[in-house]
Chains A and B, each alone.
Chain A
Amino acid sequence: MRRPPISEQLERARNAGSQLHHFHGGLRLRHNKKISCELPLEATPLPPRLFVPMLQHSGLSAEPAVKPGQQVLKGERIGYFGVKEEMAVHAPTSGTVKLLARRPISHPSGEDGLCVVIEPDGLDQWTQLTPIENWQEADPALLRQRIREAGIVGLGGAVFPTAIKVDDAHLRGIHTLILNGAECEPYISCDEMLMREQPGSIILGARILQRAIGAGRTLIAIEDQMGAVNESLKAAVKEAGADDIDIVKVTTIYPEGGEKQLIQVLTGLEVPSGGRPADLGLLCQNVATATAVANAVVEGKSLIERIVTVTGSGIRQPRNLLARIGTPIENLVDQCGGYTEDAARLILGGPMMGYALTSDSNPVIKAANCILVLSELEIEPPQAEMPCIRCGECVRVCPALLLPQELNWQIRNQQWEEVVDYGLKDCIECGCCDFVCPSHIPLVDWFRYGKAELKSLQIERGKAESARVRFEAREARLAREKQERRQRLEQKKQGLRDQADKKKKLAEAIERVQSRKDGGK
């Protein structure tokens, strides 16, 4: 299937949601979400200490803006980074900064990172809040600034700074805001719970975002397997009188909650390779991100807590918790009745894309949508890796239409040109290929490695290129200097020759005069 011309694509993007489409591949996985939706949402009590990592967004770590011993208030900025300081981290409660230390930060790399360790004073006192009273009338630029100050990131798990996305969306011109409530990974139910319990704030966030970026309408995508979500959202839309917000039910197939897949389902269009949804006039945000926006604008509260699903057969009472960023995971587990006897693996995120943590002393971070604890039975037995038998299952399930088995082969053989040609950069790391591979090849691990290699090659190539430019400039300079030297020498020689000539002529003249004198005698 060829892609339609861009004008037709934009037209179809405008009608997003009017008709549902399919995306290639994907998996139908067992949902396993009900177990964590039985108990109502509950806030996690203040732990004795909070460990707030400075790296909670995609990109580089924030720089701490506080010193040990300093008193902080809840919502006060304690670290930031970025051109516009869009990567900000705030104090989750009031208290004292005990120390700045390198600790576990729940990062996929498993490495430690800088944390601000706060000892709560128990007062939980907010800093001076600056809500935007009348957001309906407010300057959209002011709304975007508030989003930036509040340290909001994409809460679906990608943790890309929302401010950057929103600023870009504003510049590019967006007609439709898509709120992603299609939580496609098994077990995770934090968005479902949020949509059920706080639909009003999602709708409010949607309307604020719409104004901030100048979009004409909002589509909220939810999964058809979610219970009671449609009704609660519809009621909230009605209550808000927002007739420019539509709710669309999409079929539950992993990974349709992926931005590109969701857009394909809603529009039938593919986000261009290397491009962004904004190319189609769309902006995609997670529903929890919309709530964070609403809190930031209407109440002036920065992002200091999030809903976390604590679930899996390794947890006694699975449920959803509203936890402060920086709370140790063990506190959440305790609140859920602790581990069962066969708890064997602690995962941050879902079973498909989540990563295993080595210890539950890791803190809750902005990316922590789910704490999944699985039993021995659900992860065992570990299988030996076999050679690829080219069965093509990975090709069948790949939503990015890649050939994972070829990429695997090329990456292992360091054939980087082929790797680029075969579209490694378009891999969304959903793990479908990994899941179906009968040879148990850790394909996504290889793809991440390949991407990292490509990046460093690109940097090296950049360095080589600038070295080449420098070298050529130097060569040119040397050649020029040589040329100049030669010219100077030439001039000098010429000068000498001229001088010799002059002397000669003088001598001749003297001789002539002499001979005349002599002759006259």
Chain B
Amino acid sequence: MSRKFDTGGAPHFPPHSTVAGVMQQVLYALVPGVMAYVWFFGVGILVQIFLAVAFALLFEWIMLRLRKQPVRLFLGDYSAVVTAVLFALCLPPLAPWWVALIGMLFAIVLAKHLYGGLGQNVFNPAMVGYVVVLISFPQVMSLWLPPASLAGYTLGPGAVLHTIFLGQLPAGMTWDAISQATPLDTIRATLATGGIVSEARESSIFGDFGGLGWEWIANFYALGGLWLIWRRVISWHIPVMMITTVVTLGLAVYLADPGSNPAPLQHVFSGALVLGAFFIATDPVSGCVSNRGRLIFAAGVGVLTLVIRRWGGYPDGVAFAVLLMNMAAPLIDRYTRPRIFGQ
């Protein structure tokens, strides 16, 4: 007696990987960095992550409904969560709640869904959201905290929530007292007033290479990033090339003029560079596909970051550099096509 079978397409294997799985691994890889962040700067960042994720999922849900896309499938792919977390990690820990709302509105609705949703966005959504709030609310976006070891106070969870949701500090505290310029801000301000980098570095907010605390967070981001490389979620080309570019170019300008240029490792361990190298510039959708293309893309991000830090209007330039290179990505892809077998 013959038997009937259901058919299905080749390859006949259980799924090797899924989009959701890739995104989840990116989230896992961020855990050490976030933990270090909390250790040095308090629980505010967790609230920011929570807010950004909640708003991201809300906007994602609305847009999927409007675009008549399968809601459960796409909400479950974790791509909006990754966007939200990367965005939140760029925010000052005590930024008011509506910053995440506006950032996610631009990231999810504009940068992602109006371009066609998952896989279609030309620009990195997290960076679009971040740049929008950075440009729109410069004052709010500059209220950074000193690392816990330098702060003469502690902000409990209650005070953190109070600040974020009511937009003002608990009674008896002032921003002037608790906020602190970031290392890159400090260097920038010193240079602007005719000082030299070594003067700026005398401030207690500096650590061995970058900012105190920040450099350790960067180390933990790198740890997660290395895990992603090992898991083959990202290729080594982008982080290695981006950091190498910053170090080499940074060294060249530092040697040429040490007064107005920070040491190369100062650049690496400041701002969003390590986070950017492992987690932001590696976004596959808005980046390049071939390895050669990725090397060019990463070198471009590195150069532009340094240029913006030195001459641009903002102390850090990773976000702008990534967005600028996003624009160049299709062109790079076009000129870095691999040679076809036998041709």
Contacts and interface: CB of A to CB of B under 8 A. Distances in A.
A431 interface: yes
Interface string B5-20: 1111111111111110
Given A389-B118, A438-B18, A426 B12 contact: no
A403 B337 CA distance: 8
Interface string B26-64: 000000000000000000000000000000000000000
A117 B293 CA distance: 58
B13 A358 contact: no
Contacts of B289: 390, 392, 395, 403, 405-406
Interface string A240-264: 0000000000000000000010000
A351 B19 contact: no
A347 interface: yes
A426 B341 contact: yes
Contact of B18 (A273, A352, A380, A440): A440
B229 interface: no
A401 B18 contact: no
Indicate the member of A345, A353, A390, A440 with the most B CB atoms within 10 Å.
A390
A345 B12 contact: yes
Contact of B12 (A374, A391, A423): A374
Contacts of A378: 12-14
B290 A403 contact: yes
B290 A392 contact: yes
B4 A275 contact: no
B185 interface: no
A464 to B, nearest CB: 27
Interface in A363-421: 372, 374, 377-384, 386-393, 395-396, 399-403, 405-406
B338 A395 contact: yes
A401 B119 contact: no
B339 interface: yes
Nearest to A435: B11
Contacts of B15: 381, 383, 440
B73 interface: yes
Contact of A401 (B10, B118, B338): B338
Contact of A431 (B5, B11, B117): B11
B197 to A, nearest CB: 39
Contacts, number: 167
Contacts of B8: 345, 356, 379, 382
B172 interface: no
Nearest to A312: B12
Nearest to B1: A330
Contact of B73 (A381, A382, A384, A400): A384
A359 interface: yes
A361 interface: yes
A442 B9 contact: yes
A344 B12 CA distance: 11
B2 interface: yes
A336 interface: no
B290 A395 contact: yes
Given A357-B7, A392-B290, A379 B120 contact: no
Contacts of B340: 273, 400-402, 422-423, 426
B2 A330 contact: yes
What is the size category of the interface that chain B forms with chain A?
Answer: 35 or more
A335 interface: no
Mostly helix, strand, loop or mixed at chain B's interface?
Answer: loop
A439 interface: yes
Nearest to B338: A401
Contacts of B157: none
Interface in A106-126: 110
Contacts of A352: 10-12
B339 A436 contact: no
A438 B17 contact: yes
A406 B16 CA distance: 21
A359 B10 contact: no
Contacts of B342: 260, 270-275, 426
B339 A401 contact: yes
A93 B340 CA distance: 47
A387 B290 contact: no
Contacts of A379: 8, 12-14
A142 to B, nearest CB: 35
Contact of A351 (B10, B17, B79): B10
A434 B14 contact: no
A160 interface: no
B70 interface: yes
B12 A354 contact: yes
Given A351-B12, A379-B12, A400 B5 contact: no
Interface in A317-347: 328, 330, 339, 344-347
Contact of B14 (A380, A392, A423): A380
Interface string B302-316: 000000000000000
B343 interface: yes
A403 to B, nearest CB: 7
B258 interface: no
B290 A273 contact: no
B21 interface: yes
A97 interface: no
Interface in B299-343: 337-343
B322 to A, nearest CB: 15
Contact of B9 (A24, A392, A445): A445
A400 B341 contact: yes
Interface string B264-290: 000000000000000000001101011
B16 A436 contact: yes
Given A345-B12, A403-B289, A386 B2 contact: no
A77 to B, nearest CB: 29
Given A392-B284, A438-B19, A356 B5 contact: yes
B21 A438 contact: yes
B159 interface: no
B22 interface: yes
A438 B12 contact: no
Given A356-B12, A392-B284, A387 B120 contact: yes
A355 interface: yes
A436 to B, nearest CB: 6
Contacts of A355: 7, 10
A360 interface: yes
Nearest to A372: B12
Contacts of A445: 9
Contacts of B12: 345, 347, 351-352, 354, 356, 372, 374, 378-379
Given A379-B14, A439-B19, A391 B2 contact: no
Interface string B62-90: 00000000100100010100000000000
Shortest 5 CB-CB contacts between residues of A and residues of B: A387-B119, A273-B342, A361-B2, A356-B7, A423-B340
Interface of A: 1-2, 24, 110, 260, 270-275, 328, 330, 339, 344-347, 351-361, 372, 374, 377-384, 386-393, 395-396, 399-403, 405-406, 422-423, 426, 431, 434-440, 442, 444-445
9 contacts: A273-B342, A345-B6, A358-B7, A359-B4, A389-B284, A393-B17, A431-B10, A434-B11, A436-B17
Interface of B: 1-19, 21-22, 70, 73, 77, 79, 117-120, 235, 284-285, 287, 289-290, 337-343
